[in-house]
Amino acid sequence: MVSKELLALLVCPVDQKSPLRLESEALVCTRCGARYAIKDGIPNMLVEEAELPPGCASLNDLECAKADDAKLDTTGSLT
């Protein structure tokens, strides 16, 4: 079980600021909808292993990755 205290600290790793919503066996980004599975009480916050929401074929399609202030470098170049 993920505690409220831990949940309050966790944010979407894609933009590193969007809050997550706790579901039964996953944390779901309230912004982009990516699902991070919780295994043995430990959320797996690896972007590469996140379950993408419907309509998103890749990480680049995530709402969080499209944000101007996204921290995830999906283009391979720094702006």
Report the residue from 20, 26, 28, 32 that binds Zn ion according to the rule CB under 5 A: 32
Residues between 58 and 77 with contacts to Zn ion, criterion CB under 5 A: 64
CA nearest 59: which of 74, 70, 45, 44? 74
Should residue 28 be labelled a site residue for Zn ion when binding is judged by CB under 5 A?
no
- Give the binding range for Zn ion (CB under 5 A) out of 27-35, 38-46, 50-58, 67-75: 27-35
Work out how close the CB of 44 gets to Zn ion at its nearest, in angstroms, rounded to a whole number. 14
Should residue 18 be labelled a site residue for Zn ion when binding is judged by CB under 5 A?
yes
